[in-house]
Structure formats: structure tokens, C-alpha cells
Amino acid sequence: MASVTGFSIPMTSFAGSLKQNQVPMRISSLNSASLCLPSLRMRPARFQISCAAKPETVDKVCEIVRKQLALTADTAVTGDSKFTALGADSLDTVEIVMGLEEAFGISVEEENAQSIATVHDAAEMIDKIIEAKV
């Protein structure tokens, strides 16, 4: 079970928002203040991470990455796979992007290509480019 017992906030955003004697306060510098609050009980949160890319796009990108990097069939390639973790260097990444351009009939701008680190990144970018074409 998580608990929160205190936090610091900048004085500029804090000034005038707290009435005198409302909460114990300790000024630790001219730019921040520490508040000591009663312990708060928090429920564990469930987080879901989803990819905006279509599953079929992710699958096709996985196939292309596997082919471009000459990975064996037992090497796991998923949406979360990072190109570097699969052994790709910068030249391999360029070749992957070229393979994606050819397979999907798209053109990837250099600045977009540099931001691709995972299969999900590539799949999301591809779907955005394809949507923009329509």
C-alpha cells in the first residue's frame, strides 16, 4: 500500500493559496516550501498501455524487421521490441525504414525516421502517414 507523507511545491505557485494555520508548512528555501500532510492511502492503479497502430501494421513491421536484421525464427520480435535490443545499428535502422517505405508505399521524412526506436514507433508512424494520404 502506498502512502504520501509530504511534497514540495514552488513558492511562486503556492503564494497566497494557503490560509494561515491550514497545513503545517516548513520553508526550506526562497523558492520552495515543504508541506507535511497526513498519510494518504492510495489504491494500486492499473495502467494499460495501448498502441494507436493497427495490429496488422505492427505484425507487418515485425516481419520486415525480422527480415532486415536476418533474425532467426526463435528470436522474439514484438511491438515493444527496440531495434537496438535486436542488434540493429544506425545503418540497420536506415535499411529497416527503407524496407518499411517499400512495403507500405510511403515516404518517411528523415526527422521522423530518427525518432523510431521500437516496432510500435514505426507502426504508429506508418499509420499516421497512411491516414494523412487519404
The residues annotated with a catalytic role in the active site are: 89
Antiparallel, parallel or unpaired: β 25-27 and 2-10: unpaired
Helix (H, G, I), strand (E, B) or coil at 84: coil
Helix (H, G, I), strand (E, B) or coil at 4: strand
User: How far apart, in whole angstroms, are the C-alpha atoms of residue 33 and residue 104?
Assistant: 54
Q: At what angle do helices 119-133 and 90-104 cross, to 10 degrees?
A: 40
Handedness of CA 19, 20, 25, 26 (dihedral sign): positive
Which residue has cell 511491438?
A: 79
